[in-house]
């Protein structure tokens, strides 16, 4: 690597580190339920070797009944050991792997295109990508998967010539299977595609290829019992379109199908109706739609996804990305190496498959694994356009100037929205107020025998355990978590009880009630009103 390239890469890395670590603990404004559960389980593992349910070094964390893959929680255990038990430590692995993904992306892109400008630009575009920056600041497994994917692919591409990298690729891909649910679908499909594309090169490295196959086999042997177990399928059950819990849109479509079948019976076309309006057509079209909407520019630029997943008035890509993306695909299809193009297409098309069978689509988090294909294509477009203007100096300067200007405008807008407005705009989505509620209740708990926390606060037990830094060993000795499901009424520790309540029926002077404003009658007088950052009431604390 040339010295100049190294300096540029280090500058890009510095930008990436700044964007991922600056105000990490306080922006997003609070830890949401997955982050809190991971933080508590990681600390519990560190102190007791067991999770909140008392399971010894589990390979699947039951967490909030979503049965998380284990790798991110174990990485957080290390982080807590280093930084202490706090919000920064919980988010630290995601931010670190987010920053390291810039380096692995550079390496992978260089191995693919053999062009330093393309590799550097890809690294830069990923460093400032709203999609990647936003999710690098969350203690969720999804973003870390980008690091393992790019590292694994980089090692695989190097392994075509130097076989010793192939086992490293297998290791990264294998670890990815224990990091994120979607990777369990995507990685095998993508890995198979890589083998098909480069089997001639791999065949030249027989010894290392066999070693890689053994490593892969070991990971799969451990994984298969997990994914086929009831616990392993719980997450799929919880998010899939095949469960009885329908989204509003699905419910409306089901009603339509029912109406059509009745129409057909009245029109004496019942048998034809069954051919058209059956569950196979219903789910087939739904899956197809769920898959395809992830390729919609509307999703990339505006996104109707959760408010947590993007800043206001912006999507997960920059506006200027879109024309470059289209041009990039055009240049790739027309001129680039066929295998490179096929690899990128493969990655791009496979990534949304796991999300296609889930509810609440389009979903930026479940499809983040598409990164950094966008950035590679955009970088390719930029470099190709630049090279086309090589003989026209003025045009080239204008092109570079305009591109820089447009990116400065786009990036500035994103940073402004993120660092100035995001917390206030989305604090409700981040389940803001649980920390304040827990700390306030703790400060006055001596006045009460029982503190009853409404389960309408969504997994309140794990928020209170985390924010009160409740000793994991003591919690487990009191019985640990019964279930994380939000209908669960049986969790408690110390004076805290987590269940639904009827304020008027249950109030006594020795009880304190914590819940949403809607949990209380209008005549209830709160001793504390905790507000979202936009000023709306979030949580009421009311003595009996």
Partner 1 sequence: MTNLKNSFGLMSRATLVLIIFTTVSLILSRIWLLGILPPGGADSFWLRLPTACASILSVILTILIIHKLTHERKLALLTGFFLAINPWHIEQSRVYSPAMVGLSVLLAGLLVTLFTKKTILKLAISLPTLIGFYLVYPSFRLFGNFTIKLTLYEFLHNLFKLISVDYLFFHDDSYWAGGFRTFGVLLVSTLPLFIAGLFYLVKNFNFAYIRWLIPFIIIWVIAASNPMFPEQQEYFLITPYLTLILAYGSLFFYQRFKSGNLFIKTILTVLIIFFMYEQVLFFHWYMIHYSNRIKNERLYETEAF
CB of 413 to partner 1, least distance (A): 11
- Distance CA(57)–CA(466), nearest Å, equals 19
- Distance CA(179)–CA(73), nearest Å, equals 9
Which of residues 54, 238, 297, 544 is near partner 1 by CB under 8 A? 297
Q: Between vectors from CA 391 to CA 385 and to CA 393, what angle results, nearest 5°? A: 85
CB of 61 to partner 1, least distance (A): 35
79: exposed, middle or buried (Cβ count in 10 Å: 0-12, 13-18, 19+) = buried
Site for partner 1 in 509-528 (CB under 8 A): none
Q: Is the Cβ–Cβ distance between 312 and 421 less than 8 Å?
A: yes
Which CB sits closer to partner 1, 81 or 272? Answer: 272
Which CB sits closer to partner 1, 399 or 413? Answer: 413
Which CB sits closer to partner 1, 334 or 391? Answer: 334
> Would you count residue 7 as binding partner 1 (CB under 8 A)?
no
Residue 464, CA distances (Å) to 55, 66, 79, 540 in order: 20, 19, 21, 15
CB of 416 to partner 1, least distance (A): 15
> Would you count residue 198 as binding partner 1 (CB under 8 A)?
no
> Would you count residue 313 as binding partner 1 (CB under 8 A)?
yes
- Distance CA(118)–CA(8), nearest Å, equals 13
Which CB sits closer to partner 1, 141 or 264? Answer: 264
Which CB sits closer to partner 1, 192 or 330? Answer: 330
Which of these ranges, 89-97, 203-211, 292-300, 408-416, lies near partner 1 under the rule CB under 8 A?
292-300
CB of 302 to partner 1, least distance (A): 5
Cα dihedral: 37, 40, 45, 49 (round 10): -100
- Distance CA(179)–CA(92), nearest Å, equals 16
Token pair listed for 396: 């080239």
Which of residues 301, 415, 444, 516 is near partner 1 by CB under 8 A? 301
- Distance CA(285)–CA(283), nearest Å, equals 5
Which of residues 218, 220, 224, 292 is near partner 1 by CB under 8 A? 292
- Distance CA(238)–CA(357), nearest Å, equals 11
- Distance CA(26)–CA(46), nearest Å, equals 24
Which of residues 168, 293, 383, 465 is near partner 1 by CB under 8 A? 293
CB of 403 to partner 1, least distance (A): 20
- Smallest Cα–Cα separation from 328: which of 320, 153, 412? 320
Which CB sits closer to partner 1, 349 or 482? Answer: 349
CB of 311 to partner 1, least distance (A): 13
CB of 291 to partner 1, least distance (A): 9
Q: Is the Cβ–Cβ distance between 42 and 73 less than 8 Å?
A: yes
Which CB sits closer to partner 1, 229 or 256? Answer: 256
CB of 361 to partner 1, least distance (A): 11
203: exposed, middle or buried (Cβ count in 10 Å: 0-12, 13-18, 19+) = exposed
Cα dihedral: 435, 438, 440, 443 (round 10): -130
The full DSSP string for 190-226 is: HHHHHHHHHHHHHHHTHHHHHHHHHHHHHHHHHHHHH
CB of 194 to partner 1, least distance (A): 21
Token pair listed for 479: 């019985």
Which of residues 282, 302, 348, 497 is near partner 1 by CB under 8 A? 302
Site for partner 1 in 318-377 (CB under 8 A): 319, 329-330, 333-334
> Would you count residue 413 as binding partner 1 (CB under 8 A)?
no
> Would you count residue 306 as binding partner 1 (CB under 8 A)?
no
Counting residues that bind partner 1 (by CB under 8 A) gives: 28
CB of 334 to partner 1, least distance (A): 6
CB of 344 to partner 1, least distance (A): 15
Secondary structure of residue 26 in the 3-state scheme:
coil
Which CB sits closer to partner 1, 264 or 305? Answer: 264
CB of 453 to partner 1, least distance (A): 40
Sign of the CA dihedral 534, 30, 125, 374? negative
Residue 157, CA distances (Å) to 43, 111, 139, 204 in order: 37, 6, 30, 13
> Would you count residue 18 as binding partner 1 (CB under 8 A)?
no
Site for partner 1 in 232-291 (CB under 8 A): 256, 259-260, 263-264, 267, 269, 272-273, 276, 281, 285, 288-289
Residue 463, CA distances (Å) to 87, 225, 309 in order: 12, 31, 21
Which CB sits closer to partner 1, 234 or 322? Answer: 322
Which CB sits closer to partner 1, 285 or 408? Answer: 285
Which CB sits closer to partner 1, 313 or 449? Answer: 313
Interface with partner 1 (CB under 8 A)? 256, 259-260, 263-264, 267, 269, 272-273, 276, 281, 285, 288-289, 292-293, 295-298, 301-302, 313, 319, 329-330, 333-334
């Amino acid at each position: 690597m040339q010295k100049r390239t190294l300096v540029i890469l280090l500058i890009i890395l510095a930008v990436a580190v700044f964007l991922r670590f600056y105000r990490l603990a306080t922006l997003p404004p609070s830890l949401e339920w997955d982050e809190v559960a991971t933080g508590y389980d990681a600390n519990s593992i560190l102190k007791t070797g067991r999770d909140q349910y008392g399971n010894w070094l589990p390979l699947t964390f039951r967490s909030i009944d979503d049965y998380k893959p284990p790798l991110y929680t174990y990485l957080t255990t290390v982080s807590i050991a280093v930084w202490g038990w706090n919000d920064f430590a919980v988010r630290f692995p995601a931010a670190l792997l987010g920053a390291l993904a810039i380096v692995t992306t550079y390496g992978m892109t260089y191995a693919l295109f053999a062009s330093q400008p393309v590799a550097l630009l890809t690294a830069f575009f990923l460093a400032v990508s709203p999609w990647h920056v936003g999710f690098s600041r969350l203690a969720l497994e999804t973003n870390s998967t980008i690091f393992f994917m790019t590292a694994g692919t980089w090692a695989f591409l190097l392994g075509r010539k130097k076989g010793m990298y192939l086992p490293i690729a297998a290791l990264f891909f294998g670890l990815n299977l224990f990091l994120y649910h979607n990777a369990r679908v995507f990685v095998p499909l993508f890995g198979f595609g890589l083998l098909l594309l480069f089997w001639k090169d791999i065949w030249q490295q027989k010894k290392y290829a066999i070693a890689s196959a053994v490593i892969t086999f070991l990971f799969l042997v451990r994984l298969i019992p997990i994914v086929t177990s009831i616990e392993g399928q719980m997450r799929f059950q919880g998010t899939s379109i095949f469960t009885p819990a329908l989204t509003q849109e699905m419910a409306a479509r089901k009603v339509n199908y029912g109406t059509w079948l009745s129409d057909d019976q009245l029109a004496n076309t019942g048998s034809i109706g069954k051919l058209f309006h059956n569950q196979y057509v219903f789910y087939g079209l739904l899956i197809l739609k769920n898959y395809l909407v992830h390729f919609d520019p509307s999703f990339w630029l505006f996104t109707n996804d959760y408010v947590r997943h993007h800043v206001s008035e912006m999507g997960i890509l920059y506006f200027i990305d879109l024309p470059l993306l289209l041009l990039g695909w055009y240049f790739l299809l027309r001129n680039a190496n066929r295998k490179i193009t096929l690899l990128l297409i493969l990655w791009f098309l496979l990534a949304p498959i796991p999300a296609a069978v889930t509810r609440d689509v389009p979903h930026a988090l479940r499809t983040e694994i598409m990164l950094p294909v966008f950035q590679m294509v955009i970088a390719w477009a930029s470099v190709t356009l630049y090279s086309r203007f090589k003989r026209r100096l003025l045009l080239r300067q204008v092109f570079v100037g305009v591109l820089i200007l447009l990116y400065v405008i786009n990036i500035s807008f994103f940073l402004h929205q993120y660092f100035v407005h995001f917390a206030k705009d989305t604090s409700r989505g981040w389940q803001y107020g649980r920390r304040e509620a827990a700390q306030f209740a703790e400060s006055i708990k001596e006045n009460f025998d029982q503190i009853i926390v409404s389960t309408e606060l969504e997994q309140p037990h794990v928020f209170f355990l985390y924010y009160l830094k409740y000793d994991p060993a003591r919690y487990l000795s009191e019985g640990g978590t019964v279930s994380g499901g939000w209908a669960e009424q049986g969790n408690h520790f110390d004076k805290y009880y987590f269940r639904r309540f009827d304020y008027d029926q249950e109030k006594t002077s020795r009880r304190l009630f914590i819940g949403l404003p809607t949990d209380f009658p209008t005549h209830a007088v709160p001793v504390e009103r905790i507000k979202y950052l936009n000023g709306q009431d979030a949580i009421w604390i009311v003595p009996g």
